[in-house]
Amino acid sequence: MNQFGERIKQLREQKNLLQRQIAHQLFMDTPMLSKIERGERRAKKEQISIFATIFSIKEDELLSLWLADQVYEIVKDEGVALKAIQVAEEEVKYQSKRKSK
């Protein structure tokens, strides 16, 4: 699973930008960005806001994909992965309600 990298590539191509143009703005080399797009490396969380600015999209869109990729990597080989995600979802909902009070 590499939804974050796939979305970055899609956005870059839509804007007709080269990998080196994006990599320069992120202070990384072009091969590193290529690996992020292919899912061989993970972007750092701090880079998400830079990507969002470059592509003029909401940071939340990229953050949710980045987090989903992180969760998937942790649970992908577990037989109870779906159940674990459901339990985590309930906990997030519960904590969100508590914080909103």
Sign of CA dihedral 65, 84, 39, 48: positive
Question: By C-alpha distance, which of 72, 74, 71, 43 is closest to 11?
Answer: 43
pTM of the model: 0.84
User: Residue 67: its pLDDT value, please?
Assistant: 95
pLDDT tens sequence for the chain (101 residues)? 689 999 999 999 999 999 999 999 999 999 999 999 999 999 999 999 999 999 999 999 999 999 999 999 999 999 999 999 999 999 988 888 888 86
The CATH architecture that domain 3-74 belongs to is: Orthogonal Bundle (1.10)
Give the chain's length: 101
